[in-house]
Amino acid sequence: MKKNLVILSGAGMSAESGIKTFRDTGGLWEDYSIQEVATPEGYARNPELVIRFYNERRKQLKDVQPNLGHKILGELEEHFNVTIITQNVDNLHERGGSKNIIHLHGELVKVCSTRDPQNPRLVRELAEDAYEVKIGDLADDGSQLRPFIVWFGEPVPKIEEAARMVDTADIFVIIGTSMNVYPAAGLLDYVKPGCEIYLIDPHPVDVKSSLPIHVIRKGASEGMEELKKILLTQ
């Protein structure tokens, strides 16, 4: 029987694809402050700027490719039941071949209603040739379309589903996240006794857990190559 492999990924997963991480660049996201572009207050203050910012992020998706790390995770589905829990809003896990992906913080390729952002009936996926949202584009409830992103201060509706998956893990892998943002970072508390835990990151990560963790101090691609070898020779 295949083992359950559960991954928690963060911005570092996509760094080698050319997407900047958050905390490696002094709290700025592509030169904007998180307050400006990743909070409901920032959006209320300047919706034009926020909508333009996410249009640019969406445009960037067309210029980037999944890296070897994403691809190895896709390939591992042959050997394991893989679930990816990602804090990333890009679509590189999908494009790397992974099938079961929980996007904790939303998805760039989707838009939703400003009035009722988490109502699943009002969420829509944009076609690749229609990635640009304009002021005046409306959701089905008549309010402005906004990015389908979980901003700071907003509830994280997928966290319970993610916690249930972590609870089923035989192997849990943390990759490319500074483990600063909750509730995502708290998912480690849901691993069951006996679960093997790996952490892949080129920099030290302060993980608050007393559980034994195998640290692979490497970037996503090299780190996933090493992990693949370990997992397939066990």
Which residues are catalytic, by number? 105
Binding of residue 42 to ligand OAD (CB under 6 A) = no
According to DSSP, residue 214 is labeled E
Q: Please name the residues in contact with 193: beta carbons below 8 A apart, sequence gap of 6 or more.
A: none
What the block records as the tokens of 67 is: 């890296």
Interface residue with ligand OAD, options 6, 8, 38, 191 (CB under 6 A): 38
Residues binding ligand OAD: number (CB under 6 A): 27
Task: Show the binding pattern over residues 54-93: x = contacts ligand OAD (CB under 6 A), - = does not.
Answer: ---------------------------------x------
216 touches ligand OAD (CB under 6 A): no
Q: In what order do the strands lie in the sheet with 106-113?
A: 124-125, 106-113, 145-149
The CA radius of gyration of the chain, in Å to the nearest whole number, is 18
Q: How many helices (H) and strands (E) does the chain have?
A: 7, 11
Q: Cβ contacts of residue 111 below 8 Å, gap of 6+? A: 123, 124, 126, 133, 139, 145, 146, 147, 148
Distance of CA 131 to the CA centre of its chain: 19
Q: Which is nearer to ligand OAD, 150 or 191 (CB)?
A: 150
Note whether 113 binds ligand OAD by CB under 6 A: no
Residue with smaller CB distance to ligand OAD, 45 or 217:
217
Binding residue for ligand OAD, selected from 64, 102, 126, 181, defined by CB under 6 A: 181
Q: Which residue has the tokens 């409830």?
A: 141
CB of 198 to ligand OAD, least distance (A): 13
List binders of ligand OAD among 182-201 (CB under 6 A). 201
Residue numbers at the binding site for ligand OAD (CB under 6 A): 10-12, 15-16, 21-24, 34, 38, 87, 105, 150-152, 176-178, 180-181, 201-203, 205, 219-220
